[in-house]
Chains A and B, each alone.
Chain A
């Protein structure tokens, strides 16, 4: 079980958190006209890298804040966690 440092609460066990997907996905601007392909890429396509990955996590059983995590998907090493408006 991972130990994740919530930027608001500090180190907590993984079972307090829920995973929220790739942090690098950029949501298309509201109301912007975009192609099917662009939209499909946003909704359906995700990279599945072995190694360093930027992720969103939710401190769902804690402060309920979303934040960013840089994690190695193979070794589970967590390099850094950051608030949403901070750089990873």
Chain B
């Protein structure tokens, strides 16, 4: 009860604090603005690897600070004493900088650039500052110091895991109301609202050995790998090399009598002088796919000032195929899970070590260290030696046999063995910790509670191997029972893991093991003897969830900081019946934030394992998915933006269409002239005019996009017999024939006219959109099924431009343009072909028609396309020749009832359904899809069949896709018996016409049907599919 009261007091105090600040809000803003540039009062006077000669000023939340070249935003803010960076996602709890790298879970900021352009969710621990850098806190309003959303923290007992699922499920029709508020609360940063002005790049790269990570393992592996003389690539996500060794205490370990930083420098220099190796910094491997295919993002200019950035590529996406991969991705320190382990000023011990040793920044003045292992003692020694007071080291272990605790003892640092922290205080910055003794079996706490005042708490729960890339590549893990982490179990011939990502710890062991393994992996024998001195490490103990003096409902032991998931949420999920770790993850959202659980996932697994009494190895991990760290959309897209987004294919006559005001339509990748509006003409008006002209006078169409396949070989006729439904052997040379191609299932696949140019030579046309897949399909049959056929296919779509001239005057125009052909009906009848000359340009002329009108297609070598087009225009002037686009072409063919494959057909329509029985050869022994036409389903009488529809009101135009019913009911559902496939107002017939597929349509001619629309029902009558010139007189005119 007493504890309960205390916890309430804290919450009430918290709200008081926020409210109090509400009053002071206006004045505080003024106060913040009046502040001069802050001093680096937490920066040591010397030391670290920042460039102290280059001072940089930057802004955070509107306030100006300064740091040095080489600082991250995090190190620069810490140097200025700023810990509070943002608010947590759900409870809006104040959060500070927790780590020093890619694993950061709390310190996400919005980076502001010019003209409102902005990057959300940037990790303050990774982004490097530059002159003029500007960032703001996220997920808080109005400011990070005073955030109204913090009221959620008070309500936290009633918003547990799964709260949204439970609450907003009922009543369903209120969702619309909730949605607005939930969407508003969701997400952390703000998306940019303008186009990204930056340049991004893609690069393919092939190498013999890729080494990921440049810590002691990565560098040692590289030193061996360069001896192969092959192409080596070494990448690291950090700006500088050396991994965690780069911020090791300079006095505690030595390699060949060199300090760690000196050894790193010497090794890097040696490598950089070797021309076999390419070394990339600021390059993070996002994904590791099959067959050593890795996606990496290289940051090229995010660390540069606006001026330096100008004209430079921002990020480059590398697509690397490596023969062999060496993973040296290191390990990530984990926190401790206890009540209120999330306050600003609570940081990973290794991060604090990096800030003091690498950046020369002390994260606090009075430090408590909370640990389960010896590694944190190195942090203690580094801090102590640089004048920071260590108030105490709280260690959950009984004792340690290692060198470092002994050394701390000698330095007079207080160590509280077998103790645990049970609570912390300090709303926006930690100010004390509550400590109690652990019972023998670590299950509860005993003795008296006492407080230690501090302004910084370093936590260290041991290290977790970074196995993300290993598992992405398909590697399996095993749980190391003694060391409490998952490590690689399986091996593959073209990949190894070395160093701490493989579960190997200790500098000497890492370097020696890496050398041996790399030599073996690359079939070498180059063992350098290194003389390594390091401290002996003691045992490691692990408690996933530390015991508390409170009932669990009153505590907030955070597991996933960013998503505000506590150990209690995980317990709740288990109580509510979730057993699979993947389900627990989704229900509680643990590990689902932008850090993907790099910090807290192991604890979530550990807690589930303990409560369900399942061994960690059996429980397994959640799946590690790419990317390891978030990628920008810019990097993913690269240069494939705007006009480069997709391939655009233009016909050789495109320029003319453009000049003459054509509107274009996308057909596959092609730009096709859609219609050519005159001044002030609507699309409808233009199409009506074009259609009328094409029928009654002369029309001209660019048909260059139709697929063309040149077919040659002694078995060409037999091949066509097999792929088309009709017979080809008897087609005379110089004649054309329309063909329908089916799939094996008997459904219409593609159609087009094929012309016999010679005994063993045909040219096939396909639909514009189907050209590529028809070609592949024909190759498939020739190569896999009928290799005995002597047939050669060549795609010649782009080789020819096709100018189609139609209408009653077309013959006269052709006679003017192609002078050496006799165009008489007798010499050149419908469905035949002649070779001719347009001036000196060789051409193939086919008399074929898709409009039902007298029509000729002139095929010429592509680059003469526009010349021939212009000649036809010139010759047709006296006949008022009118260019028409695809829309008028569609209208004209609909008047004739000609189908478009893909519009009248949809993969469920047979030629019989199209009432095109005439095209199915009864004599041929077989063709693709023939057998399917005799299945019970395809022979069924009440299949959907192609019919014509006439609206009772001839002015009423049906909507394509509209459903057709036999019987209208007052409201749905009604039995739908088909749908409209094509619909136009025909200017030549002066009435609305439509094609449709309707159940049992063949038998419904003359029957009234209905097309119910949202505002009315349209009455229609089933008609023949051919609306105009049933006898074909116009074709043969």
Show the binding face of A for B, using Cβ within 8 Å.
1-3, 13, 18, 20, 27-28, 30-31, 34, 36, 39-40, 42-44, 56, 58, 60, 64-66, 75-76, 84-85
A-B pairs, top 3 by smallest CB distance, nearest first, are A31-B925, A3-B291, A30-B926
Q: What residues on B are CB-neighbors of A2 within 8 Å?
A: 290-291
Docked-complex contact B931 and A66, CB < 8 angstroms: no
Q: What residues on A are CB-neighbors of B293 within 8 Å?
A: 1, 3, 13
Once the chains are docked, how many angstroms separate the CA of A58 from the CA of B783?
10
Once the chains are docked, how many angstroms separate the CA of A20 from the CA of B936?
28
Docked-complex contact A18 and B776, CB < 8 angstroms: yes
What are 30 A-to-B residue pairs whose CB atoms are below 8 Å?
A: A1-B289, A1-B290, A1-B291, A3-B291, A13-B293, A13-B321, A20-B780, A28-B931, A30-B722, A30-B925, A30-B926, A31-B925, A34-B931, A36-B936, A39-B931, A42-B744, A43-B745, A43-B932, A44-B745, A56-B784, A58-B776, A58-B779, A58-B780, A64-B779, A65-B783, A66-B780, A66-B784, A76-B290, A84-B783, A85-B787
Q: What residues on B are CB-neighbors of A84 within 8 Å?
A: 783-784, 787
The majority secondary structure among interface residues of chain B is: mixed
Docked-complex contact A3 and B935, CB < 8 angstroms: no
Partner of B321, one of A3, A18, A31, A76: A3
Show the binding face of B for A, using Cβ within 8 Å.
289-293, 321, 474, 722, 744-745, 776, 779-780, 783-785, 787, 925-926, 931-932, 935-936
Tell me the nearest residue of chain B to A56, going by C-beta.
Answer: B784
Tell me the nearest residue of chain B to A40, going by C-beta.
Answer: B935
Q: What residues on A are CB-neighbors of B779 within 8 Å?
A: 58, 64, 66
Q: What residues on A are CB-neighbors of B474 within 8 Å?
A: 75-76
| A41 CB → nearest B CB, Å | 12
| A30 CB → nearest B CB, Å | 4
Once the chains are docked, how many angstroms separate the CA of A28 from the CA of B399?
77
Docked-complex contact A31 and B290, CB < 8 angstroms: no
Tell me the nearest residue of chain B to A12, going by C-beta.
Answer: B321
Once the chains are docked, how many angstroms separate the CA of A75 from the CA of B476?
12
Once the chains are docked, how many angstroms separate the CA of A73 from the CA of B291?
14
Total A-B pairs, Cβ < 8 A: 54
Docked-complex contact B783 and A66, CB < 8 angstroms: yes
Docked-complex contact B935 and A36, CB < 8 angstroms: yes
Q: What residues on B are CB-neighbors of A30 within 8 Å?
A: 722, 925-926
Q: What residues on A are CB-neighbors of B784 within 8 Å?
A: 20, 56, 66, 84
Tell me the nearest residue of chain B to A36, going by C-beta.
Answer: B935
| B373 CB → nearest A CB, Å | 36
Once the chains are docked, how many angstroms separate the CA of A56 from the CA of B289?
22
Partner of B776, one of A3, A39, A60: A60
Q: What residues on B are CB-neighbors of A36 within 8 Å?
A: 935-936
Once the chains are docked, how many angstroms separate the CA of A56 from the CA of B926?
24
Tell me the nearest residue of chain A to B931, going by C-beta.
Answer: A39
Tell me the nearest residue of chain B to A25, going by C-beta.
Answer: B784
Tell me the nearest residue of chain A to B795, going by C-beta.
Answer: A64
Given A1-B290, A76-B474, 15 further pairs, Cβ under 8 A? A1-B291, A1-B293, A2-B290, A3-B293, A39-B931, A39-B935, A43-B744, A43-B932, A44-B745, A56-B784, A66-B779, A75-B474, A76-B290, A84-B783, A84-B787
Tell me the nearest residue of chain B to A34, going by C-beta.
Answer: B931
| B931 CB → nearest A CB, Å | 5
Once the chains are docked, how many angstroms separate the CA of A3 from the CA of B321?
9
Docked-complex contact A27 and B785, CB < 8 angstroms: yes
Tell me the nearest residue of chain B to A18, going by C-beta.
Answer: B776
| A15 CB → nearest B CB, Å | 10
Once the chains are docked, how many angstroms separate the CA of A62 from the CA of B278?
30
Q: What residues on A are CB-neighbors of B292 within 8 Å?
A: 3
| A42 CB → nearest B CB, Å | 8
Tell me the nearest residue of chain B to A58, going by C-beta.
Answer: B776
Q: What residues on A are CB-neighbors of B925 within 8 Å?
A: 30-31
Once the chains are docked, how many angstroms separate the CA of A40 from the CA of B787?
24
Once the chains are docked, how many angstroms separate the CA of A30 from the CA of B779?
18
Q: What residues on A are CB-neighbors of B744 within 8 Å?
A: 42-43
Once the chains are docked, how many angstroms separate the CA of A5 from the CA of B291?
12
Q: What residues on A are CB-neighbors of B776 within 8 Å?
A: 18, 58, 60
Once the chains are docked, how many angstroms separate the CA of A53 from the CA of B729?
39
Docked-complex contact B780 and A31, CB < 8 angstroms: no
Tell me the nearest residue of chain A to B745, going by C-beta.
Answer: A43
Once the chains are docked, how many angstroms separate the CA of A42 from the CA of B744?
9
Q: What residues on A are CB-neighbors of B935 within 8 Å?
A: 36, 39-40
| B94 CB → nearest A CB, Å | 44
Tell me the nearest residue of chain B to A75, going by C-beta.
Answer: B474
Once the chains are docked, how many angstroms separate the CA of A36 from the CA of B291?
43
Tell me the nearest residue of chain A to B779, going by C-beta.
Answer: A64
Q: What residues on A are CB-neighbors of B926 within 8 Å?
A: 30-31
Q: What residues on B are CB-neighbors of A13 within 8 Å?
A: 293, 321
Once the chains are docked, how many angstroms separate the CA of A43 from the CA of B930?
12
Once the chains are docked, how many angstroms separate the CA of A87 from the CA of B932?
31
Q: What residues on B are CB-neighbors of A20 within 8 Å?
A: 780, 784
| B471 CB → nearest A CB, Å | 14
Q: What residues on B are CB-neighbors of A85 within 8 Å?
A: 787
Once the chains are docked, how many angstroms separate the CA of A75 from the CA of B925?
44
Once the chains are docked, how many angstroms separate the CA of A10 from the CA of B932?
39
Once the chains are docked, how many angstroms separate the CA of A14 from the CA of B909?
34
Tell me the nearest residue of chain A to B775, going by C-beta.
Answer: A64
Once the chains are docked, how many angstroms separate the CA of A71 from the CA of B785?
22
Q: What residues on B are CB-neighbors of A40 within 8 Å?
A: 935
| B725 CB → nearest A CB, Å | 14
Tell me the nearest residue of chain B to A44, going by C-beta.
Answer: B745
| B167 CB → nearest A CB, Å | 40
Query: In this complex, which of B291, B293, B474, B745 has the most chain A Cβ atoms within 10 angstroms of its Cβ?
Result: B291
Q: What residues on B are CB-neighbors of A18 within 8 Å?
A: 776
| B979 CB → nearest A CB, Å | 25
| A82 CB → nearest B CB, Å | 13
Once the chains are docked, how many angstroms separate the CA of A43 from the CA of B474?
34
Q: What residues on B are CB-neighbors of A42 within 8 Å?
A: 744
Once the chains are docked, how many angstroms separate the CA of A56 from the CA of B777?
13
Q: What residues on A are CB-neighbors of B787 within 8 Å?
A: 84-85
Once the chains are docked, how many angstroms separate the CA of A39 from the CA of B474?
39
| A16 CB → nearest B CB, Å | 12
Q: What residues on A are CB-neighbors of B290 within 8 Å?
A: 1-3, 76
Once the chains are docked, how many angstroms separate the CA of A36 from the CA of B933?
11
Q: What residues on B are CB-neighbors of A64 within 8 Å?
A: 779
Q: What residues on A are CB-neighbors of B722 within 8 Å?
A: 30
Q: What residues on B are CB-neighbors of A75 within 8 Å?
A: 474
Once the chains are docked, how many angstroms separate the CA of A39 from the CA of B785?
16
Once the chains are docked, how many angstroms separate the CA of A44 from the CA of B932?
11
Once the chains are docked, how many angstroms separate the CA of A36 from the CA of B937?
10
Once the chains are docked, how many angstroms separate the CA of A61 from the CA of B745?
27
Tell me the nearest residue of chain A to B289, going by C-beta.
Answer: A1
| A58 CB → nearest B CB, Å | 6
| A17 CB → nearest B CB, Å | 12
Once the chains are docked, how many angstroms separate the CA of A58 from the CA of B290?
19
Once the chains are docked, how many angstroms separate the CA of A55 from the CA of B659?
50
Q: What residues on B are CB-neighbors of A56 within 8 Å?
A: 784
Query: In this complex, which of B292, B780, B936 has the most chain A Cβ atoms within 10 angstroms of its Cβ?
Result: B780
Tell me the nearest residue of chain A to B932, going by C-beta.
Answer: A43
| A64 CB → nearest B CB, Å | 6
Once the chains are docked, how many angstroms separate the CA of A34 from the CA of B932?
11
Tell me the nearest residue of chain B to A28, going by C-beta.
Answer: B931
Q: What residues on A are CB-neighbors of B932 within 8 Å?
A: 39, 43
| B61 CB → nearest A CB, Å | 43
Once the chains are docked, how many angstroms separate the CA of A6 from the CA of B935?
38
Once the chains are docked, how many angstroms separate the CA of A84 from the CA of B780?
11
| B638 CB → nearest A CB, Å | 15
Once the chains are docked, how many angstroms separate the CA of A30 from the CA of B196?
58
Once the chains are docked, how many angstroms separate the CA of A18 from the CA of B779?
13
Once the chains are docked, how many angstroms separate the CA of A44 from the CA of B289?
32
Once the chains are docked, how many angstroms separate the CA of A27 from the CA of B932?
13
Q: What residues on A are CB-neighbors of B783 within 8 Å?
A: 65-66, 84
Q: What residues on B are CB-neighbors of A34 within 8 Å?
A: 931
Once the chains are docked, how many angstroms separate the CA of A76 from the CA of B290?
7
Once the chains are docked, how many angstroms separate the CA of A12 from the CA of B833?
43
Once the chains are docked, how many angstroms separate the CA of A40 from the CA of B746?
11
